[in-house]
């Protein structure tokens, strides 16, 4: 089995080896994956190291790395909306949450590629899990447009939003809302929530289809149309502008211990 790392700012991960296929997720710069299969026309099927998600991407978005680099994940992240790295002597702008883990002292050599980063890195292990920090990170995404399969400040879906925010605190959430609902500890009542708790919502068939981050017992920030703050009560989400009920509350989980 071979290992690779995303060497572009953002790489679409598709359901099938075609640019016309549905985008199911994304890889950000510096994120590692296992190469599972190679197809004609430069398509590769990969398994993302961070969340185990599988999909197809183009080989030009990846460069091979050694297994030790692949195993060392999640210890340094790009902290700003966009961050400049040097890639083979030229600037590359990478989004918030890109991985800088495979770099050492601001430098990395991925086969024939030379990468430099002179800025400050976010270290999840040392991040404060207080209200100010949680709000700061979550609010960075405000007004980011909803994008199915998105995981960046340029477009994000509901579970991509919760996954990315909690990644900054060293919490490895799975990719989809229904998967995330199986993680963490249950919170029995909305009145018992802490900022950073996750609220999950189901459809008429009882299937978990949506997730957001609770700010308190009556406010939630979530990706729905765009990343926005809405009201929440024991029944679910109420749109703060139209006052319509949009999502039915199913359960609450605490994935971010204090």
Place of tokens 């953002």: 10
Of residues 158, 239, 248, 255, which has the active-site annotation?
158
Question: Partners of 214 in the beta sheet?
Answer: 220
In the DSSP assignment, the letter for residue 42 is G
Question: Is 137 exposed, middle or buried, given 0-12, 13-18 or 19+ CB atoms closer than 10 A?
Answer: buried
Of residues 6, 33, 48, 222, which has the active-site annotation?
222
Query: Which helix (DSSP H) or strand (DSSP E) does residue 38 occupy?
Result: strand 32-38
- 210 labelled catalytic: yes
Rounded-to-integer distance, Cα 82 and Cα 144, Å: 14
Residues 6+ apart with CB under 8 A from 80: 96, 119
Q: Which two tokens stand for residue 171?
A: 């919490």
Rounded-to-integer distance, Cα 84 and Cα 94, Å: 6
Rounded-to-integer distance, Cα 131 and Cα 224, Å: 23
- 48 labelled catalytic: no
Whether residue 65 contacts residue 110, with contact meaning beta carbons closer than 8 Å, is answered with yes
Residues 6+ apart with CB under 8 A from 98: 9, 28, 29, 30, 31, 77, 78, 83
Residues 6+ apart with CB under 8 A from 156: 141, 144, 145, 146, 147, 150, 164, 223, 227
Place of tokens 């004609």: 40
Report, as residue numbers or ranges, the catalytic residues: 158, 210, 222
């Amino acid at each position: 089995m071979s290992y690779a790392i995303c060497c572009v700012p953002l790489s679409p991960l598709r359901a099938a080896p075609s640019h016309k296929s549905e985008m199911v997720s994304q890889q950000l710069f510096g994120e590692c994956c296992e190469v599972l299969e190679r197809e004609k026309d430069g398509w590769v099927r990969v398994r993302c190291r961070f969340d185990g998600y599988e999909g197809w991407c183009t080989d030009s978005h990846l460069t091979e790395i050694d297994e030790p680099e692949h195993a060392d994940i999640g210890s340094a992240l790009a902290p700003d909306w966009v961050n400049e790295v040097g890639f083979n002597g030229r600037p590359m702008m990478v989004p918030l949450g890109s991985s800088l883990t495979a770099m050492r002292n601001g430098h990395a050599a991925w086969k024939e590629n030379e990468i430099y980063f002179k800025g400050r890195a976010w270290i999840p292990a040392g991040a404060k899990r207080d209200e100010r920090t949680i709000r700061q990170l979550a609010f960075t995404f405000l007004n980011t447009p909803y994008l199915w399969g998105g995981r960046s400040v340029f477009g994000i879906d509901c579970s991509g939003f919760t996954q990315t925010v909690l990644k900054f605190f060293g919490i490895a959430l799975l990719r989809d809302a229904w998967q995330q609902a199986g993680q963490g500890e249950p919170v029995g009542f909305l009145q018992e929530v802490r900022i950073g708790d996750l609220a999950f919502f189901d459809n008429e068939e009882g299937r978990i289809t949506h997730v957001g981050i609770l700010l308190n017992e009556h406010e939630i920030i979530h990706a729905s149309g765009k990343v926005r703050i809405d009201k929440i009560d024991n029944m679910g989400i109420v749109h703060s502008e139209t006052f319509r009920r949009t999502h039915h509350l199913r359960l609450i989980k605490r994935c971010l211990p204090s």
